[in-house]
Structures are given as C-alpha cells and as structure tokens.
Amino acid sequence: MDNLVNQLKSTALSVGEMFTPVLKESKFKETGVLTPEEFVVAGDHLVHHCPTWQWSRAIDAKHTKEYLPENKQFLITKHVPCYRRCSQMHYDSNLEKIIKEDGDNGDAQDEWVDTHHFAPETTQKVEHADVVEKAPVSNADDDDDDEGPPMDMDSFIASGGLEEEDPNRYIAPIAKPETQNSTSGDNIVRTRTYDLHITYDKYYQVPRLWLIGYDENKQLLKEEQMNEDFSEDHANKTITIENHPFLNIHMASIHPCRHAEVMKRLIEQLADNGKELGVHQYLLVFLKFVQAVIPTIEYDYTRSIQL
C-alpha cells in the first residue's frame, strides 16, 4: 500500500513539475532553494573537491533538461561501499534525546542528525576488487580516540563547520559483518556497493539523491534488501522507489520535500553566529545531512567546509 501511495505521489509531482516554471532569481538565502545555475555551481565545486563525483549526461536526448547544460544533467559516484546493515549498528542513546528535544521544541521529530559507524577492520579483505581500487578507504578507526557525541544541526553550526578529520560520531556496531572464510582461512567482508546520483528537482528547487545497490556478486539488490541499508525511520517514507528522471530506471530516492527547510535553518543559524554559507558549498552540506538516512553507505569523503 505504501508503495502504491508513493507511486501516486510521484506521478502527481511529475505532473506538477511540468507546470512549475524554472527558478530564475536566487532565493538561496531566503528559502534555501537553488536555481539550476546555482545547482551547477555547487556541482562543479563538489566535483573539484571530491573527484569521486562526476557530471553525467542523460541516457537519451529526450530526457535532457534544457535548463541544465547538456553535459551536466546530474552528478554520479559509483562503487560506494556499504559494509554493514543498519540493524547491525548501535545508536547512542543521546541520539534519541536530541530528536525528542527537537520534537518538544515544536520542530519535526525526524530532524536530520549525522550518524556514522565503524567500517570493518583494515585487516579484513573486501570482496570487490574494483571497490578497493576506486573507492576511498574510511579512516574511522584512526579517529577512535577522539570521538565525541553525535552532532545535531546546532552542534554543526557551533563548531564552525566540519573539521578536516570529520568530528561526526562514529558508532561501533554491535554485530560483526557477514563474512565467509577463504581457502587460506582469511575473513572476507561481504560488501555491498551503491551507485549514487544527485539530480536537480525542478518542483522543489533543491538537489535530490538517488541510489541503486549491488550485492557482493554485482547483482542488483531488491527493494527489501536495499531497505536493510536505510534508516528504519526513513525506509518507505523518506526513501521511496521512483523513476529516475534521466535514466528511465527505478531507483531508491530520498524525498526532497524538507531539504530547503533544513538548509534555510542552517543559513539562518550561521548568520546569527556571524558566518555565511556560500551557494557553492550547498552539495557538501547536503551530503552531510542526508547521511542520517543512509548511515552505512560510506560515500562521505567530502573535504573540510570552511565557513
């Protein structure tokens, strides 16, 4: 039933997008939205600082959006490792406290909160040779001694941005990753991988994240399998299966209805602290706050955000 409702909503939004005019004037500081030109600026900045992300064209000319450059229709990164399922993570009790306090203050109870975890030990082998070659290796274990409590939006702002070593909470899993023994007796991590795409949503006027997953044999994951890698609070709610606007395939997508609201709040609180968020930094911040929805997918290798 949830999927049917989501499909109907998706169809309605597609129709609404057809009649939504392209945003021409910047409203970034006022409302947290982006024009297509600002989306391209933010995308160029992301690609420059995080080379694992690249621009891509539409698969067919008929899917090309005329309000975006032909060679910069959407952003893509491939072979992103996902070592563990969300059920194997242990969340700090402070996380529930933060969410509850936000709710008591009248804010939405599903406020974005960064939650991370430990990647498997470096002594274990990854069962995807191309992942080792193409994806950066998490250095979470190196930062073990400097951990702090999980960061909410206020803590993010008070810290002046994300430090070079990333102060986000890394939370140790309570279960070992699924492994199998090789003939030599070594442990091999059965690693899933994801391809991630960022598109510009013309209706909501914000970036939108899309995901498609593969198992250790490079076979497509089923919807119920991908839900194992999504936060339980967001699976089939914030994350739905919809048709990709450029590739004509079904992919999981984080619904963008609250993205502008979160960004607007961040901009305002930064201003209260005498700081300013540049539009070119939008996607770096965007990737930070959506990590709460997909905490086990290790895509976040963004650089320090200087505010």
More confident position, 157 or 163 = 157
What is the band of 110 on the pLDDT scale with cuts at 50, 70, 90?
very low
pLDDT in tens, 218-264: 999 999 999 999 988 777 778 999 999 999 899 999 999 999 999 99
For this structure, is 257 an active site residue?
yes
> Lowest mean pLDDT: which of 20-29, 124-133, 240-249, 284-293?
124-133
Residue 124 has pLDDT above 70, yes or no: no
So what's the pLDDT on residue 299? 84
Distances (CA, A) of 160 to 31, 234, 278, 282: 21, 28, 14, 15
Dihedrals phi, psi of 81, to nearest 5 degrees: -75, 145
Burial (Cβ within 10 Å: 0-12, 13-18, ≥19) of residue 123: exposed
Higher pLDDT, 129 or 16: 16
Average pLDDT on 36-51 reads 96
Write down the catalytic residue from 50, 82, 86, 257. Answer: 257
> For residue 183, is pLDDT > 90?
no
- % of the chain beyond a pLDDT of 70: 59
What's the pLDDT at 36? Answer: 98
pTM score over 0.95: no
Q: What average pLDDT does this structure show over 88-103?
A: 48
DSSP 35: -
Q: What is the pLDDT of residue 297?
A: 93
Looking at residue 4, what is its pLDDT? 58
d(CA 284, CA 304): 9
